[in-house]
């Protein structure tokens, strides 16, 4: 498992190529705000409003045919990368950092905005491109609705009650439940393969056990306050910054730093590759490897 995690994060650093930042994007030391100490709290996130720091990908192949001007057809095999879906369960590592059960490391936008759990709101994720649609996240009381927009708009309805969550099923689908207990959180999609598809994240000492298909993975908090995911990733709070050390091939390391001001978060490496998030009272703009995104926020 340790070797697999190292290979996984090393592959991520190659395929997830972050957007290039400029030195002017990095805040001056005098503008930095103090970050909270790192922590390990088991958690869940049903909105999936996340900004990727390190996204997991899987490789797929496809056969492509082409015909030249002489009418001769040739075929070739292409390899392409597909992002692994977000998982609802994960670990809250402090400062908005969220590591989900599929090993996607991100910043939880909902948490960064400081919205209370009992607060009503509307968040609009603006569509990117001419043919894309806005996605609306609407919370009213205990009900959360995600409206994906578009010509054939689909909606997801989630009932939030007593720290638990229930996804409303449709005609051909079952309800899905997230249940919080003292030391564990369970995601149960029900359905035909309920026993196989149910997953749990569990507190274990000062760390947590993250569910995996074949074997669970431990994430630990050390005596010096740092967090490690085996030897694949170490996250350390150093003054006004958080440092991420990813293990690469042949004993190499790739280091990223995260800093924050009152209205900006920047995650970057020595080559100015990274992610930038600009936060205002009514909107958030992000710049990452996937391009730029904008979120419009209305708090009620």
pLDDT values of the chain reduced to their tens digit, one per residue, 300 residues = 444 454 445 444 444 444 578 899 999 999 999 999 999 999 999 999 999 998 888 888 888 888 888 888 888 898 888 889 999 999 999 999 999 999 999 999 988 888 888 899 999 999 877 678 899 999 999 999 999 887 667 889 999 988 899 998 665 567 899 999 989 999 998 865 555 578 999 999 999 999 876 678 899 999 999 999 988 899 999 989 999 999 877 677 889 999 999 999 999 998 888 999 999 989 999 988 778 899 999 988
Angle (CA) 255 258 261, round 5°: 160
Is residue 62 situated within a structural domain? no
- pLDDT at site 173: 65
What count of other Cβ atoms lies within 10 Å of the Cβ of residue 86? 20
Is 73 domain-assigned? no
Instruction: Give CA–CA dist 278/295, Å, rounded.
Output: 10
Q: Strand order of the sheet with strand 97-100?
A: 41-44, 89-94, 97-100, 105-108, 50-54
Domains held by the chain: number: 1
- pTM confidence score: 0.86
72 in a domain, yes or no?
no
Residue 40 lies inside a defined structural domain of this protein? yes
> Where in the sequence is the domain holding 104, given as residue range(s)?
2-56+79-299
- Whether residue 265 is contained in a domain is answered as yes
Name the β-bridge partners of 288.
291
* Domain contains 61: no
Task: Please check whether residue 190 lies inside any domain of the structure.
Answer: yes
């Amino acid at each position: 498992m340790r070797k697999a995690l190292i290979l996984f994060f090393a592959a991520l650093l190659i395929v997830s190529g972050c957007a290039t930042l400029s030195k002017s994007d990095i805040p001056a030391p005098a503008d930095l705000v103090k970050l909270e100490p790192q922590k390990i709290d088991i958690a869940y996130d049903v909105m999936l409003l996340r900004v990727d720091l390190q996204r997991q990908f899987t490789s797929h192949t496809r056969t492509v045919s082409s015909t030249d001007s002489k009418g001769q057809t040739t075929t070739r095999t292409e390899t392409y990368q597909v992002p692994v879906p977000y998982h609802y369960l994960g670990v809250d590592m402090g400062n908005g950092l969220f590591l989900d059960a599929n090993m996607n490391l991100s910043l939880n936008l909902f948490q960064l905005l400081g919205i209370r759990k009992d607060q009503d709101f509307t968040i609009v994720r603006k569509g990117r491109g001419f043919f894309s649609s806005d996605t609306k996240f609407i919370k009213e009381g205990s009900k959360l609705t995600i409206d994906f927009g578009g010509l054939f708009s689909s909606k997801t309805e989630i009932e939030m009650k007593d720290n638990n969550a229930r996804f409303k099923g449709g005609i051909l689908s079952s309800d899905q439940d997230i249940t919080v207990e003292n030391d564990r959180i369970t995601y149960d999609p029900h359905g035909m393969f309920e026993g196989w598809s149910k997953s749990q994240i569990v507190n274990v000492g000062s760390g947590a056990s993250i569910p995996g298909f074949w074997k669970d993975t431990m994430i630990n908090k050390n005596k010096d306050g740092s967090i490690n995911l085996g030897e694949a990733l170490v996250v350390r709070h150093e003054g006004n910054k958080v440092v991420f050390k990813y293990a690469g091939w042949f004993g190499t390391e790739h280091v990223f730093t995260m800093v924050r001001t009152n209205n900006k978060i920047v995650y970057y490496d020595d080559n100015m590759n990274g992610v930038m998030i600009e936060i205002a009272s009514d909107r958030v703009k992000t710049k990452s490897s996937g391009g730029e995104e904008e979120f419009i926020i209305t708090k009620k």
